[in-house]
């Protein structure tokens, strides 16, 4: 009896937690993407690769925007073989380098006549600074996508109706924006412990939501819409730079029992990218293929505008 009193609540808690954080609805839309062009950052692995494959399966021309040439080209070849779509190509993009971002945008705009969908999927949780002197997590998870999106906005407007999809995380709910830290240190949190990296990651995911909120306001009347989302707890390479032994053990347990596969993790990205009739929800946040209300800080007009202004300065747009 004592055993049952102990184990039953654990099983109930596991079921509820698994349903909330892990189990994902399947996107069932049937959109045809022939003649459309999609960019997926980080499209060589995890959720990004699953997203790119789903877009290719629907006939899109898919650009895998990735840092590693070898892994990007291998992923492109695998997706071609899986989908039968020869219009899957690799283009090098390092979101930690503003020079690389500008070079990617310049090459893309010269060689590709269309852009119908930009999916800012890539993210990391790594210590250090970029060549531009910005904290790695802030640079790759927010400033890079911010700059890339702005450099490609005119093409998105030209090809409207089009969309920008920013992959965030439910972790944004734990984040906050410390503008003093950003202005003084060009980082989202100080320190390099696992705890500091986790804090910076959650802060960066809040940046994604706020960026989407402000971007929607600036895109009003253009027929370009934007959305942010939580993909679920997904087995991926996100935590590859977190190395402490106890963290490795926790990651192994979470990966086995509390994480879904990348295909399931891509479903809300597909929903935000392809679902019809959500244009009036531009700027909003989604999880499990449905609209979710975010905390007040994540939809604060003043904070979103200030983050935009600071971001412009950090990437030389202002």
Active-site residues, by number, are 201
What is the C-alpha to C-alpha distance for residues 120 and 118, in angstroms, rounded to an integer? 6
Question: How far from 218 is each of 51, 119, 144, 226, 283, CA to CA, in Å?
Answer: 27, 18, 19, 11, 10
The owner of tokens 């399947």 is: 26
Choose among 265, 137, 244: nearest CA to 201. 137
Q: How many Cα atoms are found within 13 Å in the side-chain-facing hemisphere of 209?
A: 32
Which strand (E) or helix (H) includes residue 48?
helix 46-57
For the chain, counts of helices (H) and of strands (E): 12, 8
Question: How far from 37 is each of 56, 155, 190, 242, CA to CA, in Å?
Answer: 10, 11, 39, 34
Structure-token pair, residue 49: 């690769």
Cβ contacts of 14 within 8 Å, gap of 6 or more: 257
DSSP helix/strand/coil, 234: strand
Cβ contacts of 24 within 8 Å, gap of 6 or more: 231, 232, 260, 264, 265, 267, 268, 288, 289
Choose among 100, 85, 84, 107: nearest CA to 36. 85
């Amino acid at each position: 009896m004592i055993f049952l009193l102990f184990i039953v609540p654990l099983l109930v808690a596991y079921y509820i937690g698994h349903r909330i954080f892990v189990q994902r609805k399947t996107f069932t839309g049937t959109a045809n993407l022939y003649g459309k062009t999609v960019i997926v950052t980080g499209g060589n692995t995890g959720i990004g690769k699953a997203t790119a494959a789903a877009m290719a399966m629907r006939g899109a021309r898919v650009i895998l925007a990735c840092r590693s040439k070898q892994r990007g080209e291998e992923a492109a070849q695998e997706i071609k073989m899986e989908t039968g779509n020869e219009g899957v190509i690799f283009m090098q993009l390092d979101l930690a380098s503003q020079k690389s971002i500008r070079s990617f945008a310049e090459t893309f705009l010269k060689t590709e006549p269309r852009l119908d969908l930009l999916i800012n999927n890539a993210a990391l949780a790594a210590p250090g600074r970029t060549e531009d002197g910005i904290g790695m997590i802030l640079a790759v998870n927010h400033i890079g996508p911010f700059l890339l999106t702005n450099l490609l906005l005119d093409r998105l407007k030209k090809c409207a109706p089009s969309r920008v999809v920013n992959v965030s995380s439910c972790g944004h709910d734990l984040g906050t924006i410390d503008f003093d830290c950003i202005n003084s240190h060009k980082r989202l949190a100080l320190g390099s412990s696992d705890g500091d990296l986790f804090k910076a990651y959650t802060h960066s995911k809040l940046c994604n939501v706020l960026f989407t909120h402000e971007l929607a306001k600036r895109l009003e009347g253009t027929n370009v819409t934007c959305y942010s989302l939580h993909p679920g707890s997904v087995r991926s390479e996100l935590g590859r730079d977190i190395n402490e032994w106890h963290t490795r053990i926790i990651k192994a347990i979470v990966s086995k029992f509390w994480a879904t596969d990348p295909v399931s993790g891509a479903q809300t990205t597909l929903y935000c990218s392809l679902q019809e009739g959500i244009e009036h929800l531009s700027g909003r946040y989604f999880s499990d293929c449905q609209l979710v209300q975010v905390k007040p800080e994540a939809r604060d007009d003043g904070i979103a505008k200030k983050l935009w202004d600071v971001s412009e300065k950090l990437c030389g747009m202002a």
